């Protein structure tokens, strides 16, 4: 008598379970990478926030050299930024540029290195990517350098 050869393959369920485990692990790694990237990405500001940021940056070109007038300009600009801008991270970057502009205009601080302005611009533009805006940050020149250069 011949024994039928239709005995089930005992390794097949183990192979299917292993394949399912690999697919689930790959899915978990891909999802984790996506979530980590979203977590590390800068907040996305609205188009209005980015427009206001550019407006403040443009106004920083005309900071008065008189200390009292520069402080008044800074207070007005700060109020404009705080009341009009919803993205606080973008606002903090603009505030840093404002501070540099005031300190440089009054001669009370060192002007930032061009690389510092470029890094600040790049970080701020990261917040405006989805809004489709590109912010431009002009270099900040010290009032002392301007006065010394005009002699």
| CA separation for the pair 57, 146 (Å, rounded) | 19
Which stretches of the chain score pLDDT less than 50? 144-151
Q: Where are the domains of the chain?
A: 15-43, 47-149
**Confidence (pLDDT) at 145:** 44
Nearest in space to 80 (alpha carbons), one of 96, 95, 70: 95
What is the SS3 assignment for 77? helix
Tokens of 123: 């970080």
- In the prediction, which pLDDT does 11 show? 80
What pLDDT score does 147 carry?
41
């Amino acid at each position: 008598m011949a024994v039928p050869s239709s005995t089930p393959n005992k390794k097949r369920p183990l192979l299917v379970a292993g394949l399912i485990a690999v697919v689930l692990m790959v899915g978990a790694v891909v999802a984790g990478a996506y979530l980590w990237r979203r977590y590390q990405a800068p907040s996305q500001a609205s188009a209005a926030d980015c427009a206001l940021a550019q407006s403040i940056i443009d106004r920083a070109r005309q900071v008065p050299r008189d200390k009292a007038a520069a402080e008044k300009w800074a207070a007005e600009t700060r109020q404009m930024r705080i009341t009009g801008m919803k993205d606080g991270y973008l606002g903090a970057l603009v505030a840093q540029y404002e501070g540099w502009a005031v300190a440089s205009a009054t001669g009370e601080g060192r002007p930032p290195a061009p690389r510092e302005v470029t890094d600040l611009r790049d970080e701020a533009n990261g917040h405006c990517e989805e809004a489709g805006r590109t912010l431009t940050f002009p270099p900040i020149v010290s009032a002392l350098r301007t006065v010394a250069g005009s002699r």
